[in-house]
Amino acid sequence: MLASVGPIEEGAKPYMRYERLVHPLRILNTLPLSHVFGQTMGLWVPPILKAELHFEGRLAAPRLVELIRTERISVLAAVPRVLALLKTHLEAADAGLAQRITGMRTTNPWLRWWRFRGVHREFGLKFWAFVSGGGALPGPLEQFWNALGFVLIQGYGMTETTAIITLNHPFHVAEGTIGKPLPGREVQLAPDGEVLVRGAVISGATWKNGELRPRQDGWLATGDLAERQESGELRFLGRKSEVIVTAAGVNIYPEDIEAAIEEQPDVAACAVVAMDTPSGPEPCAVLACRGSGGCATAAVERANAKLPEFQRISRWVMWPEPDLPRTSTGKVKRKPVAAWLARIQAAAAAPSNGKLHPVSNDTFGPSSDWLLALISQITGESNTSVGDELRLTEDLHLDSLGRVQLAAAIEERLGIVQSNGLLEEVQTLGDLRKIVAGDIPADGDALSVAPSPESAQPATAPAPASATAAPVAAPPPVTPPRPHFLYPTWPWWAPFQWIRIAFNEVIARPLTWLLAAPRVVGPLAALPPGPLLIIGNHVTAYDAALIEYALPPRLRRRIAVAMMGEMLEDFRHFRNPDWPPGHKGFYILGPPAYWLVTALYNVFPLPRQRDFQASFAHAGKALDRGYNVMVFPEGTRSAEGQLARFRPGIGLLVKESFVPVVPVAIRGLGELKTRKRGWFRSGTIEVLVGDPIQFAVEETEAAITTRLHAGVEKLLGGQG
């Protein structure tokens, strides 16, 4: 499309006088720039409004709420799907929220804000508005956010119009509408209700078949239907091509029915499509349910009670997966849903009343088992056996990295986040299904967790044959409590950063030179300015100090070190990490050691067993702040001083970071450790710094891990 952005600037001018009231304006854009709404909010509007722009591609509700609060976002630009995920997240955290909202919808906006100030505090008091586009906004969803005291602005546009055609006034929102036409746009409705647009904002030409073709018609037929309100706003009705004309000649707009059904708490998604019947096309609702399913009948009955008689649904069917197929912007793909319905219609039709029975996952659907298919995609192995008793590690071959990838895939697909690392402790496929369905609480008490070796009871000698005793039930295995890892950001504050630089330059470096006198080898001057990932072999507790000693000032003064999470937890809770499990005693120096190492070396936990995602997210934040993250991929110190196998998580961390990796090898320290010789100025310790490695986007996590191991091994072999 070829179009002008001048009308966008003209349309924004009337709102510039409000900018000083919310300065600095920060916009969080969650749409791809390939979408016209994403371009409007990500390219055209921010420069005009002098706004600060943030992007986020992971559309999980807890992550978005945290990002809005920590980055002090003012406005969230999102599709209705994202607003629905945020609504579900709030209602899950506060069971009584929906009921309290019901009586607050008509009260004063400032009173609503005060009544729900807890919700506003969760988002951050800087946040005040949503801008919704890219799809029709259901009425109940709009009423929910308005009742909470947020401003919800809805607009309408399409690719051929460069940007927005109509927009609600930010401070005079007409609920249920897509607003009035903006300056530079003429809008009229055809006799059938189709929206026609013309003006300078319309693209003047289209690129087709290798050439630019001027547009001939003055009016652009959008293919969308709307009706004009008395106040001048337009109310969106739906796509002209998606209107269902029943055998009785009644026009059914799917969006109205879908909004009523999706308002029900157990419904994750709904699509109303045409179904062929002996008397002609009729609407059929295809529902995806939350939890264990079975919500269709009750949801449809409650929705029908609110709908006019001509819109009431008498046919419905269950979609076999937890969500309907969607586009990159969250819109439901109706064509695949309609095609799937057509394939199963004959088998699922009930002769008595014409309704469709819920469809079995084992017979129909896009996949026989979407969760197993997802695991197979991650592991690269097909699974012929199906059963909830399958063990994720032993039977399905899902390792620790695979669990992290699985959690990311579920988060992307369903918006479900297990921030407490629960997904990494699941033993069976059945427990995994329960977590995805929401049937297991966050504390994970219902998990089939295998007893740990520490909690196993010692075996006893069998009783004599002549002895009689009442059978005694064996006590359940005692599972140790899961640690709660902290990811502090206070070491990033300027005072602590100055203290850390002073400690490193005045105390740590001179001591390292005095005690170890390491020789530094490598292209230090050629290292990029950062941020970087720095990896090295792990031999002693002093490896981080030795690597920092070898780095140039611009890098070593902004370092964040990943440290074994379990060790940090032991320190925090007065436990000695060097003592055996279950016998760690009371270590009075634990908390002081924790605070000192966190403040002076900017460490953060990298657990060995669980909660990898939170650790990786913290590493990403550190990189965003300009810190160079140091990681020891072996995961533990080498007892013999030899380079051990790298843990697979390093490949995922590198792939998600998009920053160069600098391999570093500490040579000579292993020999001193195994021979138990003192290394005071031994002259045998070398720190070898390799060339930075930049990985291509298409490289797999396994390939990245292999290359990194080879890079450190090469340095240790003396070829660095």
- Lowest model confidence (mean pLDDT) among 411-420, 532-541, 599-608: 411-420
Structure tokens at 497: 């950063």
| Most confident listed range (104-108, 187-191, 375-379, 676-680) | 187-191
CA–CA separation, 386 and 72 (whole Å): 47
SS3 state at 476: coil
CA–CA separation, 377 and 315 (whole Å): 34
Mean pLDDT of all residues in the chain?
79
CB 163 within 8 A of CB 5: yes
- Lowest model confidence (mean pLDDT) among 201-205, 464-468, 470-474: 464-468
Place of tokens 């952005």: 5
- Pairing between strand 194-198 and 220-228? antiparallel
What mean pLDDT is predicted for residues 38-52?
Answer: 83
Confidence tier at 357 by pLDDT (50, 70, 90):
very low
Other C-beta atoms closer than 10 Å to the C-beta of 53 total 16
**6-184 and 490-716: identical CATH topology:** no
pLDDT at 202 over 90: no
Beta partners for 317?
286
CA–CA separation, 580 and 706 (whole Å): 32
**pLDDT at 91 (0 to 100):** 85
- In CATH terms, the fold of domain 243-348 is GMP Synthetase; Chain A, domain 3 (3.30.300)
Q: Which of 139, 144, 143 is nearest to 119 (CA)?
A: 144
Say which DSSP state 14 is in.
G
CB 628 within 8 A of CB 531: yes
Angle at alpha carbon of residue 424, lines to 482 and 418, rounded to 5°: 85
CB 572 within 8 A of CB 487: no
Residues 6+ apart with CB under 8 A from 380: none
Place of tokens 């390219």: 43
CB 46 within 8 A of CB 52: yes
CB 78 within 8 A of CB 153: no
- For the domain spanning 490-716, the CATH number is 3.40.1130.10
Say which DSSP state 699 is in.
-
Place of tokens 């990033």: 492
pLDDT at 197 over 60: yes
- Lowest model confidence (mean pLDDT) among 304-313, 461-470, 655-664, 687-696: 461-470
What mean pLDDT is predicted for residues 266-276?
Answer: 88
pLDDT at 581 over 50: yes
CB 331 within 8 A of CB 81: yes
CA distances from 223 to 4, 134, 206, 237, 645 (A): 22, 15, 18, 11, 59
Residues 6+ apart with CB under 8 A from 711: 663, 690, 693
End-to-end CA distance of the chain: 52
Residue 575 main-chain phi, psi, to 5 deg: -110, 145
- Lowest model confidence (mean pLDDT) among 15-19, 34-38, 498-502, 634-638: 15-19
CB 485 within 8 A of CB 476: no
CA–CA separation, 304 and 48 (whole Å): 45
**pLDDT at 506 (0 to 100):** 95
- For the domain spanning 370-437, the CATH number is 1.10.1200.10
pLDDT at 261 over 50: yes
**pLDDT at 426 (0 to 100):** 78
Structure tokens at 136: 């029709």
Give Cα 543 to chain centroid, integer Å.
34
CA R_g for the chain: 30
Confidence tier at 286 by pLDDT (50, 70, 90):
very high
Residue 634 main-chain phi, psi, to 5 deg: -65, -25
Residues 6+ apart with CB under 8 A from 11: 164, 167, 182, 183, 184
* Sign of the alpha-carbon torsion through 253, 182, 154, 148: negative
Place of tokens 């630089």: 501
What mean pLDDT is predicted for residues 650-667?
Answer: 91
* Sign of the alpha-carbon torsion through 445, 446, 450, 456: positive
pLDDT at 465 over 80: no
pLDDT tens figures, 53-88: 999 877 778 889 989 998 999 999 988 888 888 988
CA–CA separation, 474 and 470 (whole Å): 12
CB 57 within 8 A of CB 11: no
Say which DSSP state 522 is in.
S
Domain residue ranges in the chain: 6-184, 243-348, 370-437, 490-716
| Most confident listed range (41-45, 544-548, 607-611, 683-687) | 544-548
Task: Please state whether the peptide bond connecting residue 531 to the residue before it is cis, i.e. omega within 30 degrees of 0.
Answer: yes
* Region for residue 354 given its phi and psi (left: phi exceeds 0; alpha: psi -120 to 50; beta: otherwise): left
Q: Which of 299, 320, 294, 289 is nearest to 257 (CA)?
A: 299
Other C-beta atoms closer than 10 Å to the C-beta of 402 total 20
Say which DSSP state 687 is in.
E
Q: Name the percent of the chain lying above pLDDT 70.
A: 78
Task: Please state whether the peptide bond connecting residue 325 to the residue before it is cis, i.e. omega within 30 degrees of 0.
Answer: no
Q: Give DSSP secondary structure letters for 446-458.
A: TS-PPPPTTTPPP
Which CATH superfamily, name and number, covers 6-184? ANL, N-terminal domain (3.40.50.12780)
**pLDDT at 490 (0 to 100):** 94
What mean pLDDT is predicted for residues 120-132?
Answer: 91
Q: Which of 632, 519, 516 is nearest to 565 (CA)?
A: 632
